[in-house]
Amino acid sequence: MRILVVGSGGREHALCWAIAASPLCRKLWCAPGNAGIAAEAACVPIAADDVEGLVAFARAEAVDFVVVGPEQPLVLGLVDRLAAAGIKAFGPGAAAAALEGSKGWMKDFCARHGIPTAGYRRFTDPEAARAHVRATGAPIVVKTDGLAAGKGVVVATSVDEAIAAIDAAMVGGAFGKAGAEIVVEEFLEGEEASFFALCDGEHAISLGAAQDHKRVGDGDTGPNTGGMGAYSPAPVVDAAMAARIMDEIVRPTVAGMRADGVPYKGVLFAGVMIGAAGPRLIEFNVRFGDPECQALVSRLMSDILPALVASADGELRNFHLRWRDVVALTVVMAAKGYPGAYEKGTEIRGLGAAAKLPGATIFHAGTAASGDKMLATGGRVLSVTGTGRSVREAQARAYAAVDAIDWPGGFCRRDIGWRAVAREDGKA
Ligand code: AMP
Ligand code: GLY
């Protein structure tokens, strides 16, 4: 097959790495890709949100199958445009991508179909939203309706903080159109996990769970980021909990989307809060998590490509994936300053030696080659992944690889997986 992967992050590097290993893959491109992805795929300089450019490229190169990494092109309707051009793609169409693209739509959908999630109200009027927050009290959660690059959520611990979040989005216009409408939600307590399922419009199969670390600093402190590390499987999602998430959240969602005339195909990423009463949905994403994807694909034994194609073809019923009996743990290395302002163009050395260490794989997220030098070009730059028989071993291997990388311009958290290691030690 001739395959195009869309995106340029660590998630897309991991997808390219897995797809390139498939005997079914004859030719692989990535748009726009990065310097690490270039080892697996031919990188083409088309932006991930350039829908027309991507469709034209796929047509010109007779691409058989397009795998879309990020949410933006999905929400913009890339999969619909490709379908209209007769090109098969992995991921939902624009209407189904509203599960991520509009939080208000998603909450109404969950209410209609009895999917357990936080209680909520939608607002287009800031004064009504303020009054609701004053009447309800804190903690309370304020979310922009539209996509805000992961920055549209404020978990407010006081009424004042919630009102400031409402004003920033609705009056200050901090998120543009995405913040013109907001959702105010009940605060959920428990332990968070990222759950993934492949869906084909009618059926769903579990890909299992991962946990990520969103805060920039050790001990889960400091500002939120896109994710500083992840590990899979997630100890909090045992087999019984995975079955509940499939039965109570994933399958009702697939059935509900079908009943509503917007069948859901692609990967469904459910952010879940596991509390005393069981799993409750925090949010849906219509794509793989980053860096969760890097940990997930590192555990996959089966060929990923037939599974992605079966999702697009509606053939996941009875589809079975095999997983390696290992833990995978990914440490994100970011440019110093991230998630604030950071320097670009600093040199990274030692990647070759680090990649040769046992159980280590290095996925690139924001790199560019300059002659024989490797330069950092993004905020999150590398996803250094270790696999092992335990969380502790996977963690030790990931950090051994991190320590072999010579990058004075970068930093990482030193405690990725701490909760799972503590749990493992408690059991041992
Ligand atoms: P989201 O962008 O929707 O994933 O939200 C970002 C983070 O905010 C989540 O990963 C949770 O840690 C937190 N969060 C969002 N909604 C809630 C909620 N209703 N209760 C508690 N925490 C939440
Ligand atoms: N790591 C969380 C996300 O990809 O949204």
Test site for ligand 2: of 213, 231, 292, most ligand atoms within 8 A of the Cβ: 292
CB 164 within 8 A of CB 172: no
Whether 175 and 196 map to the same domain: the answer is no
Residue 427 pLDDT: 62
Q: Regarding beta strands 65-68 and 2-7, do their DSSP bridges make them parallel or antiparallel, or are they unpaired? A: parallel
Task: Using the mean position of ligand 1's atoms as its centre, give its distance from the Cα of residue 155 in Å.
Answer: 7
Q: Is residue 116 part of a domain?
A: no
Give the phi and the psi of residue 275 in degrees, each rounded to 5. -120, -170
Mean pLDDT rounded to a whole number for the chain: 95
Please state, in angstroms and rounded to a whole number, the distance separating the CA atoms of residues 282 and 359.
Answer: 33
Task: Using the mean position of ligand 2's atoms as its centre, give its distance from the Cα of residue 65 in Å.
Answer: 24
Q: Is residue 322 part of a domain?
A: no
CA 426 from centroid of its chain's CA atoms:
29
Give ligand 1 pocket residues (Cβ under 6 A).
118, 141, 150, 153, 155, 185-188, 192, 214, 271, 282-283
Ligand nearest to the CA of 292: 2
Whether 50 and 148 map to the same domain: the answer is no
Test site for ligand 1: of 115, 133, 185, 283, most ligand atoms within 8 A of the Cβ: 283
Model confidence band, residue 179 (pLDDT cutoffs 50, 70, 90):
confident
Whether 196 and 306 map to the same domain: the answer is yes
- Domain stop point among 180, 205, 226: 180
Whether 293 and 351 map to the same domain: the answer is no
List the one residue out of 115, 58, 146, 50 whose CA is nearest residue 278.
115
Q: Is residue 42 part of a domain?
A: yes
Q: Specify the residue with its C-alpha closest to ligand 1, atom 16.
A: 282
Altogether, the residues listed in the chain come to a count of 428
Which residue range is the domain that position 131 belongs to?
Answer: 125-180
- Domain stop point among 138, 161, 180: 180
Task: Using the mean position of ligand 2's atoms as its centre, give its distance from the Cα of residue 312 in Å.
Answer: 22
Q: Is residue 370 part of a domain?
A: yes
Task: Using the mean position of ligand 2's atoms as its centre, give its distance from the Cα of residue 291 in Å.
Answer: 7
Task: Using the mean position of ligand 2's atoms as its centre, give its distance from the Cα of residue 342 in Å.
Answer: 21
Residue 99 pLDDT: 93
Give the atom of ligand 1 at the shortest distance from the alpha carbon of 189. 21
Give the atom of ligand 1 at the shortest distance from the alpha carbon of 214. 10
Test site for ligand 1: of 99, 155, 188, most ligand atoms within 8 A of the Cβ: 155
Whether 155 and 260 map to the same domain: the answer is no
* 27 strand-pairing partners: 2
Residue 180 pLDDT: 83
CB 362 within 8 A of CB 332: no
Model confidence band, residue 31 (pLDDT cutoffs 50, 70, 90):
very high
**Region 243-264: what's the mean pLDDT?**
98
pLDDT at 428 over 60: no
Structural tokens at position 113 = 């179909």
CATH code (residue 19) = 3.40.50.20
Residue 186 pLDDT: 96
Whether 211 and 143 map to the same domain: the answer is no
Q: Which residues contact 33 (CB under 8 A, 6 or more apart)?
A: 5, 8, 12, 16, 41, 43, 44
Q: Specify the residue with its C-alpha closest to ligand 2, atom 2.
A: 289
Whether 199 and 300 map to the same domain: the answer is yes
Whether 309 and 195 map to the same domain: the answer is yes
Whether 81 and 131 map to the same domain: the answer is no
Q: Specify the residue with its C-alpha closest to ligand 2, atom 5.
A: 289
Ligand nearest to the CA of 269: 2
- Domain stop point among 279, 313, 347: 313
Test site for ligand 2: of 215, 285, 287, 413, most ligand atoms within 8 A of the Cβ: 285
pLDDT at 173 over 90: no
Ligand nearest to the CA of 290: 2
Whether 261 and 350 map to the same domain: the answer is no
Task: Using the mean position of ligand 2's atoms as its centre, give its distance from the Cα of residue 128 in Å.
Answer: 31
pTM higher than 0.85: yes
Cα→Cα distances 146→103, 286, 309, Å: 7, 14, 29
Task: Using the mean position of ligand 2's atoms as its centre, give its distance from the Cα of residue 225 in Å.
Answer: 9
Q: Specify the residue with its C-alpha closest to ligand 1, atom 3.
A: 283
Give the atom of ligand 1 at the shortest distance from the alpha carbon of 187. 20
Residue 172 pLDDT: 84
pLDDT at 150 over 70: no
SS3 of the chain: the string is CEEEEEECCHHHHHHHHHHHCCCCCCEEEEEECCCCHHHCCEECCCCCCCHHHHHHHHHHCCCCEEEECCHHHHHCCHHHHHHHCCCEEECCCHHHHHHHHCHHHHHHHHHHHCCCECCEEEECCHHHHHHHHHHHCCCEEEEECCCCCCCCEEEECCHHHHHHHHHHHHCCCCCHHHHCCEEEEECCCCEEEEEEEEEECCCEEEEEEEEECCEEECCCEEEECCCCEEEECCCCCCHHHHHHHHHHHHHHHHHHHHHCCCCCEEEEEEEEEEECCEEEEEEEECCCCCCHHHHHHHHECCCHHHHHHHHHHCCCCCCCCCECCCEEEEEEEEECCCCCCCCCCCEEECHHHHHCCCCEEEEECCEEEECCEEEECCCEEEEEEEEECCHHHHHHHHHHHHHHCECCCEECCCCCCHHHHHHHHHHC
Whether 390 and 332 map to the same domain: the answer is yes
List the one residue out of 227, 194, 213, 210 whose CA is nearest residue 380.
227
Q: Is residue 197 part of a domain?
A: yes
Give per-residue pLDDT as tens, 322-355: 999 999 999 999 999 999 999 999 999 999 999 9
Q: Is residue 9 part of a domain?
A: yes
The number of domains in the chain is 4
Q: Is residue 185 part of a domain?
A: no
Whether 176 and 134 map to the same domain: the answer is yes
Q: Is residue 213 part of a domain?
A: yes
Test site for ligand 1: of 105, 115, 141, most ligand atoms within 8 A of the Cβ: 141
pLDDT at 18 over 90: yes
Give per-residue pLDDT as tens, 58-109: 999 999 999 999 999 999 999 999 999 999 999 999 999 999 988 899 999 9
SS3 of 282-315: the string is EEEECCCCCCHHHHHHHHECCCHHHHHHHHHHCC
Give the atom of ligand 2 at the shortest distance from the alpha carbon of 227. 1
Structural tokens at position 344 = 């670009």
Structural tokens at position 387 = 């696999």
Test site for ligand 2: of 215, 269, 297, most ligand atoms within 8 A of the Cβ: 269
Structural tokens at position 377 = 């070009």
Task: Using the mean position of ligand 1's atoms as its centre, give its distance from the Cα of residue 282 in Å.
Answer: 6
pLDDT at 374 over 70: yes
Give ligand 2 pocket residues (Cβ under 6 A).
212, 227, 285, 289-290, 292
